[in-house]
Amino acid sequence: MKFGVLVFPGSNCDRDVAYVTRDILKQPTRMVWHEETDISDLDVVVIPGGFSYGDYLRCGAIARFSPVMQATVEHANKGKLVLGICNGFQVLTEAGLLPGALVRNRGLHFVCDRISLRVERTNLPWTQLYQKGEVITLPIAHGEGNYYADADTLAQLEDSDRVLFRYQGENPNGSLNNIAGICNIKGNVLGMMPHPERASDSMLGSTDGLKLFEGLLKVAVAAMV
């Protein structure tokens, strides 16, 4: 399975993701500059956290127009896997690959902490190695992580079981329905504010995030059988 990690001017978690996919999982990984247009060699596209240029207007508002994002939309429409983490989640909503928006945190403060999440659905590649209802701990670091959607969109997300992760206990940013991560209808696009890559190595104190990446390898193995 080949991973591609998008790199925008301002990205700062791209190497963290590559460390997990390349060094821990031992999978081919390519850093993809935001001006590239050909990502046909990739199985999984990861839009990492950090920042993307133009965030001062609205997070992800300019990055969504990058050539690589047009290619990422095509990649997703073919049913291939796309993961957006933190700023990557914001870019996915701006690009229309996921509904809703990420707005300023309740209280208007940047939040950097470890937070408990409940896994809501486990029949997708991203979460298949977790148990339904399992509570895991992942780091967060964001100023605009407050998930918002209108009532109809929110109802559609809930009715179609597209909320994969919820904040358990404390809601750190005011997200509606405690939403921490959602997927598209097909389930091949996931956006989440917490950072699984920062909890994928025991040296960092937790491997709760590693199962998310390992689940993708299970899909690759199944496809080869």
Two structure tokens written together for 141: 């670091």
- Alpha-carbon span 204 to 197, nearest angstrom: 10
Contact 84, 47 (CB under 8 A): yes
Closest CA to 172 of 88, 119, 111: 111
34, 59, 75, 86: which is the annotated catalytic residue? 86
Active-site residue 134, yes or no? no
Contact 156, 185 (CB under 8 A): no
34, 75, 142, 195: which is the annotated catalytic residue? 195
For 143-167, the DSSP string reads SS-EEE--HHHHHHHHHTT-EEEEE
Active-site residue 195, yes or no? yes
Active-site residue 197, yes or no? yes
The residues assigned a catalytic role are: 86, 195, 197
